A and B are shown apart, each in its own frame.
Chain A
C-alpha cells in the first residue's frame, strides 16, 4: 500500500470509525432517545438500498428526495450566480457604484435565510418559488464579494499593459479584467454553492416541500428519529460531494 492510500483512505476511515463509536457510546449511555448506529441502519435500509422507490408523496427513497432538493438548489444557485456575478463586477469596477450600493450589500448579507423565506412566501405565494428566491438571495453574497475583491485585486501592471495598448473598454474587460478575476469568481461560486445547499435544507424544513430537508422535518414530526439521522448523513454527503466537484472546477480554472 502506498503512502498516499494510507493518508487519503485509511486515516479518514479511522476518523469515521471513531465517530461511529462515539455515537454508539452516547446512544447507550447519555442519550437513550438517540438511535444507535445499528438501529438507524435497520430502520433506514430501504431508503438507502432502494433509493428510487415511491410509496406516495411522503414515503420516497433517498435518491428521489436528493434529486428534488438538487433541482431546487440548481435553480436558486443559477439565480444567485446570474445576479451576483455582474453585481460583483460593477462593485469592483465602479467606485460610484461601490459607494452607492456597498452599504446595502453589507446590510443584506448577514440576514438569515429563515428571515427571507416568509417574504418569499408573501411575494410569490407558493413554496417552490419562495424557496428558489430565498436560495438565490442568500447564496449570492460570496459570489458578489469575491468577484468585487477579484476585480480590485488585479495587479496594476496588467492594467497598465491594457492602458499602453489603448485597448477599447470591452477588449480590456474580455482580455484582461475577466481572465484576471476568474480565480476569485470561481472561489465565490464554490462558496455560494455551499450556502445554497445549506439554505435548501432550511427552506424545505420550513415549507415542507419534498426533498431531503422536507423528509427530515416530516420524520421528526412522525417521531421516527433514526430517519432524521439518515437525512443528516445524506445532507452531509451531498454537500461534501458538491464541494469536491466545485473544487475540481475551481482548480481547472486556476491552472488554465
Chain B
C-alpha cells in the first residue's frame, strides 16, 4: 500500500475577478522510503500542493490519504520544512529543535529526548552553534535547523518546500549533498518541491513535473536510475543525467509554450 496518495485533488482561490484554479486533478502516489521531487515553475502551485498535504489547507475536491486514511488537519506525521525556515526567533537552535522533539516524544523519558535532540543537531553539523538564535545564523545554517526540526517530528512523510531556493548556489550545493547523506542514513519518505531541475535529479528517485498554472496538473513521472551516492562531479559526466535533464527541461519549457511549439508530452525515459 502506498504511504501517501493523492486522488483528483483540486484547489482554487476566490479572487475579486472570480475563482482562480491553482491545482487541477492532482494524482500522486508516494511509496515508503521513496524520495520524490515535484518540479515546477514559481507560482505554479507547488507550495499550495505541499500545504494541502501538510493539512494546513483543505482541497476543494479529491482526497489525500496517508497510509490509506484521509488526513485531518496538520500534524507531525507529515512534518514540513518551510520555504522561509520559520524558525522561532526567540529560541536558540537547541530550543527550536527540542520544541519538536518534546511535542512528538512526550511519552519518552527526558534523557532520551535530550539525546535525540543532540543527535539531530549533530546530524546537520550545528552542534557548536546550538545556543545561537536564528538572527545570528547564516541562511544555510537556518535551513539546517529547519531540516533538523523536520526530522525531529519523526514524520511518516517529510515535506520539503523549496528548502534551498533562498540560498546562494554554493551553499545550495553543500546542503543538497548533506540532505542526500542524511536521507541515505535514514531512508525517510520524502516529498520535496523545487524549481531546480538539477537538484531534483541529484536527490530524487522519481521526478514529477508540475505544469505551469493556472490549474496545474502533474505531468508524466521520470524515474531517476542513476546510482547513489550521486556526487555532482561524477553525475556531470553521466550521459544519462544529461539526457534526463534535457528531457525534463524540454517538457517544462514547451508546457509554457516556449521553444516555438505547442505543449508536448514528455519523451519517455
Chain A residues proximal to chain B, CB less than 8 Å: 157-158, 160-161, 163-167, 171, 175-176, 179-180, 182, 256
Do B86 and A166 have beta carbons less than 8 Å apart?
no
Given A161-B99, A164-B56, 11 more A-B residue pairs with CB atoms under 8 Å apart are A157-B82, A163-B56, A164-B75, A165-B99, A165-B153, A166-B75, A167-B103, A176-B88, A179-B88, A179-B91, A182-B90
A158 to B76, CA, bound (A): 15
Roughly how many angstroms separate A157 CA and B80 CA in the complex, as a whole number?
12
**Complex CA distance for A136 and B88, rounded to whole angstroms:** 34
Residues of B within 8 Å of A, CB-based: how many? 21
Q: Is B79 an interface residue (CB 8 A)?
A: yes
Cα distance, A250 to B134, chains bound together (Å): 20
Closest to B96 in A: A161
Dominant SS among interface residues on chain B:
loop
Q: Does B125 contact A (CB under 8 A)?
A: no
Give every chain B residue within 8 A of A175 (Cβ-Cβ).
Answer: 88, 99
Q: Is the CB of B90 within 8 A of A165?
A: no
Contact yes or no, B80 A164, CB < 8 A: yes
Report A176 CB to chain B, min CB distance, Å: 7
Question: Within the complex, which residue of A157, A164, A171, A180 is in contact with B76, where a contact is CB–CB below 8 Å?
Answer: A164
Contact partner of B79 (CB less than 8 A), chosen from A164, A171, A180, A182, is A164
| B145 interface contact, C-beta 8 A | no
| A183 shortest CB reach to chain B, Å | 10
Q: In the bound complex, do residue A164 and residue B153 qualify as a contact, i.e. CB atoms below 8 Å apart?
A: yes
Asked if A163 and B74 make an inter-chain contact with CB atoms under 8 angstroms apart, the answer reads yes
In chain B, what residue has the closest Cβ to A163? B74
Asked whether A165 lies within 8 Å of B76 as measured between CB atoms, the reply is yes
In the bound complex, CA of A165 to CA of B75 (Å): 6
Closest A residue, CB atoms, query B135: A255
Question: With A157-B82, A175-B99 known to touch, is A164 a contact of B74 (CB < 8 Å)?
Answer: yes
Q: In the bound complex, what is the Cα–Cα distance between A163 and B100 (angstroms)?
A: 11
| A160: chain B residues within 8 A (beta carbon) | 56, 74, 82, 86
A166 touches B56 (CB 8 A): no
A165 contacts which chain B residues (CB < 8 A)?
A: 76, 99-100, 103-104, 153
Interface positions, chain B 34-62, Cβ under 8 Å from A, are 54-56
Which residues from B are CB-within-8-Å of A164? 54-56, 74-76, 78-80, 153
Q: List 12 A-B residue pairs with CB atoms under 8 Å apart, sorted by A's residue number.
A: A157-B82, A157-B86, A160-B82, A164-B74, A164-B75, A164-B79, A164-B153, A165-B76, A165-B99, A166-B75, A179-B88, A256-B90
Q: Is the CB of A166 within 8 A of B88?
A: no
Complex-state Cα separation, A12 to B208, whole angstroms: 66
| Complex interface bits, B152-168 against A, C-beta within 8 A gives 1, otherwise 0 | 01000000000000000
**Is the beta-carbon distance between B76 and A161 smaller than 8 angstroms?**
no
Most chain A beta carbons < 10 A, residue from B54, B76, B86, B104: B86
Chain A: minimal CB distance from B188 (Å) = 16
Given A164-B153, A165-B103, A179-B90, A157:B84 Cβ within 8 A: yes
In this complex, what residue of B is CB-closest to A176? B88
Q: Distance in Å from the Cβ of B52 to the closest Cβ of chain A?
A: 13
Within 8 A of A (CB), among B78-129: 78-80, 82, 84, 86, 88, 90-91, 99-100, 103-104
User: Which residues of B are found within 8 Å of A163, using beta-carbon distances?
Assistant: 56, 73-74
Q: Which A residues lie within 8 Å of B103 (CB)?
A: 165-167, 171
Shortest Cβ gap from A5 to chain B (Å)? 31
